[in-house]
A and B are shown apart, each in its own frame.
Chain A
Amino acid sequence: METLLDVGNVTRSFGGLRALDGCSFALRQGQVTCLVGPNGAGKTTVFDCITGFLKPDAGSIRLSGEPIAGLHRRDIVRRGIARSFQNLRLFEEMTVIDNVIVCLADETGNDPITAILRPFHSQAVLKRKTEQARAILETVGLLAKADHLVTAISFGQQKLLCIARVLATDAELLLLDEPTSGLGATALDTMVALIRRLSGLGKTLLVVEHNTRIVRDIADQVVFMHQGRVLAAGDPGDVLERRDLAEIYFGGGH
């Protein structure tokens, strides 16, 4: 299967701390890869480097062979990589559907000239975007909540909305930072089913996930990180069975 993203020897330090220390792994098109490792392993730093929120000190990041390290975050999204945030960062005073509309890849109508001087065109654009957003909400199962305020939906639904926003960018590679953390049993099942469905739609996913049961459930590949390095990458069964990694992950207590 074709490699979509190739992270090669990426290093990134904060002062004296090496958050990433020669980190390398590859994502194959259409697969779900879970990024696992103890707290402080560098998982979010990897996300930040891939999406341009941080610039790597050294190393290469290639999307379909093209180098993207150091590009502006905006350009990286346009090339097809979008992320969600651990702390959601939803637009809380807005409705569910407006959260999606704001993130749509389609730029038309996002200027004052169109909005004020071409009102009919502007409303037609908004209508088209509303339809696109509704289709995305349907994919994540939030269509019934489209006109609710973000603050009026449950935490599980807010997490689904994060996925909808990422989908709105039309990116083919989705980076999800702990999409299942804090979810109850039912919401968890919904999220796992959604991640599978996205994979079925041809999206490539990189997911930070702590729950090994879920990792086994969704992952085609597991990348195990520790102290800024990739210790193992491969089949979930093989990686998760390794006792040395389990010791690191659980601190040897289990």
Chain B
Amino acid sequence: MNFFLSYVILAEIFAIMALSTNFLVGVIGIFSVSQAALMGVGAYAYAVAAMAGLPFPVALLLALVLCAILNVLTSLPSLRLAGDYFVVTSFGIQLVATAVFINWSDVTGGVSGIAGIPAPSFFGVSTEEPRNFIVVTTLALIAAATGYALLMRSSYGRVLHAIRLDELAVVAAGRNVLRLKLGISAVSGAYAGLGGALYAIFLSFIDPSSFEIHVSVLILTMLVVGGARTLSGSIIGPFILLSIPQFMALVSLPPTMVGPARSLAYGVLLVAFMLLRPQGIAGRRL
């Protein structure tokens, strides 16, 4: 039972990450491959704040705000660089982040990471047990999904959509595209901060390997498989991809094969969807 709960909790956390990525990659077309780095910043920020004894809401808010600001700063180059070039920039940001997680050991604990990250209690009930924590992640996902839906249904959502389709035409209408893009980058960053903080709480242990480039690619794969620019796609994708390791556990592979086989399955899935169904399961082309 715990096995299944863990799967759902992780999938919910990654659904929040997929929504964060969807804002940038799907909605306004900033192709970022550094979302895991941002998730890491959220996780470390929460961990450090919580270990220092700050109450849960304060530590969480800290993670959200820090990630929002960082994402605005790291998205800035994309306002000058066209799509393909930003991928390279974003790749660099990811590598820098991993290097910082590993080397800023006074704060991050270096390669050994941070252990014993406390879970919050609500009304005297600890959320350390998965059956309690799942309530937190479910509520967080509902809030994130509602936020996404509200945003996309608003006039702001329409303008964002238009920026991806023809930025120059939006400028010609007198819109401040810079401000509009920075706004959505901040939201995307806050979502990543939320995902990172929940991840840190759930595992109670974080280290740099959890936020490497392959995790960014995994999140992108979730988005592609689920379907970019859709709410349901951002939720379906993580549930499908994270179920693969569960199924693989049914086949008794030698322990050394599990990791590579999982990566292979993710890769095959990404390529297959890109070729055969680029719009993903929920249906819109990236």
Binding site for B on A (CB under 8 A): 51, 53, 73-74, 77-78, 82-83, 85, 89-94, 98-99, 101-105, 109-112, 114-116, 119, 122-123, 125-126, 129, 165, 168-169
Quick one: which of A78, A83, A101, A103 has the most chain B CB within 10 A? A103
Binding site for A on B (CB under 8 A): 147, 150-151, 153-159, 161-162, 165-166, 168-176, 180, 183-184, 186-187
A109 pairs with B156, CB closer than 8 A = yes
Complex interface: chain B residues within 8 A of A114 (CB): 154, 156
Nearest CB of chain B from residue A236's CB, rounded to whole Å: 28
A105 pairs with B174, CB closer than 8 A = yes
Quick one: which of B153, B161, B170, B173 has the most chain A CB within 10 A? B173
Complex interface: chain B residues within 8 A of A73 (CB): 171-172
The 10 closest A-B pairs by CB, nearest first: A77-B174, A103-B173, A115-B154, A89-B169, A102-B162, A91-B165, A115-B156, A116-B147, A115-B151, A122-B154
B156 pairs with A169, CB closer than 8 A = no
Nearest CB of chain B from residue A158's CB, rounded to whole Å: 13
Complex interface: chain B residues within 8 A of A83 (CB): 172
Complex interface: chain B residues within 8 A of A110 (CB): 155-156, 159, 175, 180
Complex interface: chain B residues within 8 A of A119 (CB): 150
Chain B interface, DSSP helix/strand/loop, else mixed:
helix
In addition to A102-B155, A104-B155, A125-B154, 19 A-B residue pairs with Cβ atoms within 8 Å of each other are A74-B175, A77-B172, A85-B169, A89-B166, A90-B169, A91-B161, A94-B158, A94-B161, A102-B162, A102-B170, A110-B156, A110-B159, A110-B175, A116-B150, A116-B187, A122-B156, A123-B153, A123-B154, A129-B155
A112 pairs with B183, CB closer than 8 A = yes
Quick one: which of B147, B151, B155, B171 has the most chain A CB within 10 A? B155
Q: A247 to B174: give the CA distance in the assembly, Å.
A: 40
B150 pairs with A91, CB closer than 8 A = no
Q: A122 to B149: give the CA distance in the assembly, Å.
A: 12
Complex interface: chain A residues within 8 A of B153 (CB): 123, 126
Would you give 17 A-B contacts (Cβ < 8 Å), ordered by A? A74-B174, A82-B173, A91-B169, A94-B161, A98-B162, A101-B158, A103-B173, A105-B174, A109-B155, A110-B156, A112-B151, A112-B183, A114-B154, A116-B187, A119-B150, A126-B155, A169-B174
Q: A83 to B187: give the CA distance in the assembly, Å.
A: 32
Q: A90 to B147: give the CA distance in the assembly, Å.
A: 28
A93 pairs with B165, CB closer than 8 A = yes
A51 pairs with B172, CB closer than 8 A = yes
Nearest CB of chain B from residue A154's CB, rounded to whole Å: 20
Complex interface: chain B residues within 8 A of A126 (CB): 153-155
Nearest CB of chain A from residue B189's CB, rounded to whole Å: 11
A111 pairs with B156, CB closer than 8 A = yes
Q: A111 to B157: give the CA distance in the assembly, Å.
A: 9
Nearest CB of chain B from residue A135's CB, rounded to whole Å: 16
A76's closest neighbor in chain B, by CB?
Answer: B174
Q: A98 to B154: give the CA distance in the assembly, Å.
A: 11
Complex interface: chain A residues within 8 A of B169 (CB): 85, 89-91, 165
Complex interface: chain B residues within 8 A of A53 (CB): 172
Contacts A94-B165, A116-B147: A85 and B172 contacting too (C-beta < 8 A)? yes
A91 pairs with B162, CB closer than 8 A = yes
B174 pairs with A78, CB closer than 8 A = yes
A111 pairs with B173, CB closer than 8 A = no
Complex interface: chain A residues within 8 A of B156 (CB): 109-112, 114-115, 122
Nearest CB of chain B from residue A144's CB, rounded to whole Å: 21
Nearest CB of chain B from residue A97's CB, rounded to whole Å: 10
Q: A115 to B154: give the CA distance in the assembly, Å.
A: 6
A77 pairs with B154, CB closer than 8 A = no
Complex interface: chain A residues within 8 A of B186 (CB): 112
Quick one: which of A77, A78, A91, A165 has the most chain B CB within 10 A? A91
Quick one: which of B151, B154, B156, B169 has the most chain A CB within 10 A? B154
Nearest CB of chain B from residue A96's CB, rounded to whole Å: 12
Q: A120 to B173: give the CA distance in the assembly, Å.
A: 26
